[in-house]
Structure 1
């Protein structure tokens, strides 16, 4: 599995999100407490950037229509979205965030 160094943990707002691009894939990095998550940055319902939304209770909210997505599974927790967003593996080493887009590499 190949991980790519994306940014420093400090670059991600506390209880917030940072939109980045990894190999042409839009990714929202989300920090809640000491945890960092990575989900696809495009809402499965309205194709807007999730990283511009609010982060709370283990979810990220799409600012346009209010769908929330679970940061662990990518599944929507309320309508109008019905399709999950992709989630990616994250590791933090020496204060830096690494993300793997691949599921089997």
Structure 2
């Protein structure tokens, strides 16, 4: 398919449950998160104010990450903010695991 690219991020076994891992691709600042057996990929900069979410707080039960600056929480599966002041969702990315490697789909 045209315009579809899968980028290898890291080994799946290198990511523990509740862990966020940051990485950059071109001018994009992204993160992957493991919650239980699920792996999510989103932008890592808060949509409210410039803050790196990998420095935030993880809630595995709710599958959220909370911004360390103004405490907006974001759902990792759909990027939706769970409380103010953030109102704009994070961009999310499709994830696949192949041969113990985590890949995300970059459009």
Same fold (TM over 0.5): yes
Could you say what the CA RMSD is over the residues aligned between the two structures, in angstroms?
Answer: 1.2
Shift of 1:93: 1.3
Instruction: Work out the CA distance in 2 between the residues paired with 1:38 and 1:62.
Output: 16
1:49 aligns with 2:52: yes
Instruction: Work out the CA distance in 2 between the residues paired with 1:94 and 1:34.
Output: 16
CA contact (8 A) 1:8 1:96 kept: yes
Shift of 1:55: 1.5
Shift of 1:13: 3.6
Shift of 1:74: 0.6
Aligned with residue 6 of structure 1, among 5, 9, 12:
9
Shift of 1:101: 2.0
Aligned to 2:49, the other structure's residue is in SS state: coil
Per-residue CA deviation, residues 33-59 of structure 1 (Å, 9 max, x unaligned), is: 111100101000111111111221111
CA contact (8 A) 2:17 2:37 kept: no
Partner of 2:104: 99
Partner of 2:82: 77
TM-score of the superposition, structure 2-length normalised? 0.88
Shift of 1:12: 2.7
Aligned residues: 102
Aligned to 1:75, the other structure's residue is in SS state: coil
1:68 aligns with 2:73: yes
Aligned to 1:10, the other structure's residue is in SS state: helix
TM-score of the superposition, structure 1-length normalised? 0.90
Shift of 1:68: 0.5
